[in-house]
């Protein structure tokens, strides 16, 4: 008997891979940790076969806004717990660490984890240092907290895992410094030729003033935050500054968290033809038990808002991979790392809630089935708070 061609074949799932223009029922074959083939009838050449009929086979999910500098920063959560529950293969930390404490993040969290953990480095030297239930201290209120040269030097030494610069803008985070903090962060990102991820909070500065300064490829995170200071004008339409920003290539990211997903904003934006570019969770210590929970739950939420399954998958795989300039991730092309997320879509009567307490009756939920990281099977955990709301079998669209 000839030696098997493939180590593992996932047989019969609906494969959704935007980058390679794939959406259909087929097999995915893995060899030596990489995608070896995608097509029909691959199982006969495999050492091991997993039947995933009726399931969705997607590139490994990428959450580009998490906080996982666990136990060293007060806002962060355990990356393993989050990756298992949300069926992610790649977690990108959004500025929990700055130049002053990044080395600990790398040595004590990133390299200890089996998952791909990447980071935006905070322009603030101490990172997000004072954030917890009842504690909220701005990390970008003084120029002396934002030494551009230190940020640039730390990124230069760690380009393997640092994918961009992060800044939080608005309200008490920046205080009187306001847009001055954004200028310094842009200076660092420009020097590094990397994207800047900018958080938008309460005014000042205004949503328009912030997006006006962003460059092509920069990421506005918390794009569907509720009023006040949302992307929607008094006429119920997306404001001009936001439309202009998208036109020049600024990317808009959900980052649900505990303050940044409002149904009124979301529904107005979608009605006005303004879907997000990327879906992310902003999972942290206050959001991890709802209403944002994690990336997979946030994907379900957007699915229930009317985005299609292929859109939601693309916004959580290929789009974030390109946003962080890691084109090798987020797709299932032959030769790519075998990062794969297997999901099922169930009928459900789950009632979703946004960050201001507005509720919407849902009809469907995505649930994790399996995750492969570099071809290796990883544990997934169900989210118990959702299980009792599943009312029917998964769909087969």
**Contact residues for Zn ion (CB under 5 A)?**
94, 282
Least gap, CB of 254 to Zn ion (angstroms): 11
Nearer to Zn ion, 68 or 94 (CB): 94
**3-class SS string, 60-114:** CEEEEEECCCCCCCCCCCCHHHHHHHHCEEEEEEEEEEECCCHHHHHHHHHCCCC
* Angstrom distance (rounded) from CA 133 to CA 115: 27
- The whole-angstrom separation of Cα 397 and Cα 259 is 34
**Least distance in angstroms from the C-beta of 282 to Zn ion:** 4
282 or 294: CB nearest Zn ion: 282
User: Residue 257 CB, nearest distance to Zn ion (Å)?
Assistant: 6
* Residue 94 or 173 having the CB closest to Zn ion: 94
Structural tokens at position 352: 């979703």
For residue 260, the minimal CB distance to Zn ion (Å) is 8
CB-nearer residue toward Zn ion: 69 or 125? 69
DSSP 161-215: TEEEEEEEESHHHHGGGTHHHHHHHHHHHHHHT--EEEEE-SSSSPHHHHHHTPP
Q: Dump the DSSP string for 226-253.
A: PSSS-SB-TTSSB-HHHHHHHHTT-EEE
Q: How far is the CB of 77 from Zn ion (least distance, A)?
A: 11
Query: What tokens were used for 145?
Result: 């907290």
Cβ proximity to Zn ion: between 66 and 230 the closer is 66
């Amino acid at each position: 008997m000839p030696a098997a061609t493939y180590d593992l074949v996932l047989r019969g799932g609906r494969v959704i891979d935007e980058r390679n223009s794939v959406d259909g029922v087929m097999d995915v074959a893995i060899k030596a940790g990489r995608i070896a083939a995608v097509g029909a009838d691959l199982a006969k050449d495999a050492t091991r076969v997993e039947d995933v009929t009726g399931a969705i086979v997607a590139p490994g999910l990428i959450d580009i806004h998490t906080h996982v500098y666990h136990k060293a920063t007060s806002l962060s959560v355990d990356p393993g717990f989050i990756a298992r529950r949300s069926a992610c293969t790649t977690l990108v930390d959004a500025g929990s660490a700055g130049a002053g404490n990044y080395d600990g993040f790398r040595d004590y969290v990133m390299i200890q984890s089996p998952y791909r953990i990447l980071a935006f480095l905070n322009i603030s030297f101490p990172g997000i240092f004072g954030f917890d239930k009842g504690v909220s201290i701005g990390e970008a209120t003084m120029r002396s907290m934002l030494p551009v040269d230190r940020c640039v030097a730390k990124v230069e030494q760690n380009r393997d895992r640092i994918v961009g610069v992060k800044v939080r803008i608005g309200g008490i985070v920046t205080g009187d410094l306001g847009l001055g903090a954004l200028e310094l962060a842009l200076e660092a990102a420009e020097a590094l030729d990397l994207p800047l991820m900018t958080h938008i909070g309460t005014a000042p500065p205004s949503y328009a003033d912030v997006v006006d300064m962003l460059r092509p490829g920069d990421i506005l995170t918390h794009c569907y935050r509720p009023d006040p200071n949302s992307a929607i004008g008094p006429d119920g339409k997306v404001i001009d500054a936001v439309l202009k920003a998208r036109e020049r290539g600024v990317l808009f990211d959900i980052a649900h968290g505990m303050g940044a997903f409002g149904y009124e904003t979301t529904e107005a934006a979608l009605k006005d033809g303004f879907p997000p570019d990327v879906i992310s969770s902003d999972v942290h210590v206050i959001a991890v038990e709802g209403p944002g929970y994690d990336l997979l739950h946030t994907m379900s939420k957007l699915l229930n808002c009317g985005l299609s399954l292929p859109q939601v998958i693309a916004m959580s795989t290929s789009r974030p991979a390109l946003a962080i300039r890691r084109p090798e991730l987020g797709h299932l092309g032959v030769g790519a790392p075998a990062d794969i997320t297997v999901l099922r879509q169930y009928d459900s009567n789950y009632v979703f809630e946004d960050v201001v307490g507005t509720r919407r009756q849902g009809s469907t939920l995505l649930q994790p089935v399996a995750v492969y990281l570099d071809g290796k099977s990883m544990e997934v955990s169900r989210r118990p708070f959702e299980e009792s709301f599943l009312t029917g079998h998964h769909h087969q669209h």
